[in-house]
Amino acid sequence: MTATAQILERDGPEAATTNAIAARAGVSIGSLYQYFSGREAIIAALAQRHVEQMRAVLSRSLAELIALPIEAAIPRLMAALVDCHRVNPTLDHVLHQVMPEDASVLDEFEDFAATIAAAAIRSHPGLAIADPELAGSTLTLAVGGVLRTTLRRWPARISDPALEQALVDLVLGFLARAGEGSKAARAQAPGHAAALLDEGPGGGQAAALKLGEGAG
């Protein structure tokens, strides 16, 4: 199983044949089939273990977060999520490629994170988030998307504090904005953030999304 992980990481899914796995594990192919019912089962077990590891890392961090104020908690939560995905990013990506799309164990982690996020949001009615489930899910998927793609394409960047800050801004910004949105009709009275955004240096039309032009 660790053998499987190594092969998947180093050489990709195609290389993870039962023979290769057995060889790297240092056992005979026959032994492999005494412990696993087949290739799929091996990978499923590996995915399960991977998800459990990620969940463990996240859970450990959650314990420390409970006692923090939100502005301090979110940054550390983001750091925790980064750590989660650092458990084994390559494997994580390959598993996402390899697992059948339905009933994937990997989704468990996202579900877990989304559930926690929703619960946290719901426990703070002051945030005035109308649909905590949607908010939790959105934030989870958004952060997950950033982290997984970053790890796949620019692994070094994962340690960049600016990235972590961006994630914090993503989450806190969303919570602020989504909360406002519930309180006041955006169309009628633009909220704080909206107000901030509306006036650029260049007047009304300067506020438009001018693609391709440099800073006005």
Partner DNA sequence: GATGAATGAGATTTCATTCAT
Partner DNA sequence: CATGAATGAAATCTCATTCAT
Residues from 5 through 44 that contact DNA (CB under 7 A) = 14, 16-19, 27-31, 33-35, 38-40
Span near its own copies by CB under 8 A; candidates 22-30, 42-50, 80-88, 147-155:
147-155
> If binding is defined by CB under 8 A, does position 198 make contact with its own copies?
yes
For residue 91, the minimal CB distance to DNA (Å) is 17
Give the closest residue to 47 by CA, choosing from 96, 83, 7, 85.
96
Q: Taking the complex as a whole, how short is the minimal distance between the CB of residue 35 and DNA, in angstroms?
A: 7
Element (H, E) at 205: helix 203-206
Q: How far apart are CA 40 and CA 37, in angstroms?
A: 8
CB 15 within 8 A of CB 24: no
**Residue 11 or residue 160: which is nearer to DNA going by CB?**
11
Stretch that binds its own copies, among 21-29, 42-50, 79-87, 90-98 (CB under 8 A): 90-98
In this structure, are residues 20 and 38 in contact, taking their beta carbons and an 8 Å threshold? no
> How far, in Å, CA of 207 to CA of 24, rounded?
59
3-state SS string over 95-160? HHHHCCCCCCCHHHHHHHHHHHHHHHHHCCHHHCCCCHHHHHHHHHHHHHHHHHHHHHHCHHHHHC
Q: Quick check: 66 binds its own copies (CB under 8 A)?
A: yes
Binding mask 162-181 for its own copies (x = CB under 8 A): xx-xxx-xx-xxxxxxxxxx
**How many residues sit close enough to DNA to count as binding (CB under 7 A)?**
16
Of positions 5, 21, 43, 146, contacts its own copies by CB under 8 A: 146
Is 2 one of the binding residues for DNA (CB under 7 A)?
no
Tokens, residue 114: 């989304």
CB nearer DNA, residue 42 or residue 84: 42
Q: Does 121 bind its own copies (CB under 8 A)?
A: yes
Q: How many residues bind its own copies (CB under 8 A)?
A: 90
Q: Which member of 119, 184, 185, 189 binds its own copies (CB under 8 A)? A: 119
Question: Taking the complex as a whole, how short is the minimal distance between the CB of residue 33 and its own copies, in angstroms?
Answer: 12
- Cα end-to-end span (Å), the chain: 56
Query: Which of its own copies, DNA, none does 185 bind, CB closer than 5 to 8 A by kind?
Result: none
Q: How far apart, in whole angstroms, are the C-alpha atoms of residue 146 and residue 85? A: 11
| Residue 151 backbone phi and psi in degrees, to 5 | -65, -35
Which residues sit at the interface with DNA, rule CB under 7 A? 14, 16-19, 27-31, 33-35, 38-40
